Amino acid sequence: MLRFQHLENLYLLLLLPILIVLFVSLFWWRKNKLQKLGDEVLISKQLLGFIPGRPTLKFILLITGLAAAVIGWANLQMASGMEKVQRKGVDVLIAIDVSKSMLAQDIKPDRLTRSKQLVLSMLEKMKNDRVGLIVFAGRAYLQVPLTIDYSALKMMLQNVRPDQIPTPGTMFSEALELSVNSFSKREKKYKSLVIISDGEDHDENAIAKAKEIGETGIIVHTVGVGSPEGTTILDPTSNALKLDDQGNAVVSKLNENELKSIAASGKGTYSLLRNADVVAEKLVSEIDGMEQKSLGAVVYNSYSSYFQYFLVVAFVLILIELLLPGANLKPKNA
């Protein structure tokens, strides 16, 4: 079975007919000019160094060489066998806090957007792991079940926003409990939960729940989003400051102690989100370092490449075209 590894490069071949049309047009323009001067054959013989057919030959060499170069760049391949690859990975659930405090802008553009950027960076670095998405505030919901379809997860991630969950607050125990129910119960390992939040928890059972699920084999990592100094929160509907019951502006602060305690109880790590790529690299490294399960064998076709032959042909043809004189340098005999 033949295929081109980079099929999109073959679109460059569409430029060749344009070059051919330009050459033919130039050829007929020159022919008409000579006919207007008199007998075409006689005039051509009188032109200094003129070699009949030489321009056409050089053009054919050039156009063929360019075609061979484009085909070589597309890399023609032929199936040469079958290769079985064992896939290994772990199951990873990513839980994003979507409470209104995640709209705080103490890190730009806001905490929730930076959280999404972290997830995207993680997906770019992950390969064989199954990944799912949980959103939580006062309640937790499984947005995307465990899957290897990262593109679908990325698409769903774009729609994550606070108004998805009408119940206000931040309940870590809800996300922790949902993760237990979303993982396979047949296995005691190969599982990891990543919680991304500003740590403003309204649940006293979170640390105890993290310790409980940590004993079931689920590794819990936490990521803090925001700053310890905190900032005020704008209501997305009215664009006004969020106020408490006394009419004072609510200041949302990053609660690192809560997140660190949950990570320690869940036998995982805590990271402060400053640079999404750096934190993503750390988390993926931790996940890759876990014991991984076999996800089955995938059979691939093994292909041999033949681009080098086309590039050699292209080089030789273009070299001949360059070295081949366009006109006879010796003066004609009188």
Token pair for 137: 């505030």
34 vs 48: which has the higher pLDDT = 34
Give the pLDDT of residue 334: 43
What is the band of 230 on the pLDDT scale with cuts at 50, 70, 90? confident
Give the pLDDT of residue 234: 76
Average per-residue pLDDT for the chain = 85
**158, burial (CB in 10 Å: exposed 0-12, middle 13-18, buried 19+):** exposed
> What whole-number distance in Å separates Cα of residue 282 and Cα of residue 270?
10
Give the pLDDT of residue 251: 87
> What whole-number distance in Å separates Cα of residue 269 and Cα of residue 219?
9
Asked if pLDDT for residue 271 goes beyond 90, the answer is yes
Residue-wise pLDDT for 119-163, tens only, equals 999 999 998 888 999 999 989 999 999 988 898 899 999 999 888
Q: Report pTM.
A: 0.63
Domains (ranges, CATH) in the chain? Answer: 2-75+306-323 (no CATH), 86-296 (3.40.50.410)
Q: Tell me what the mean pLDDT of segment 212-223 comes to.
A: 91
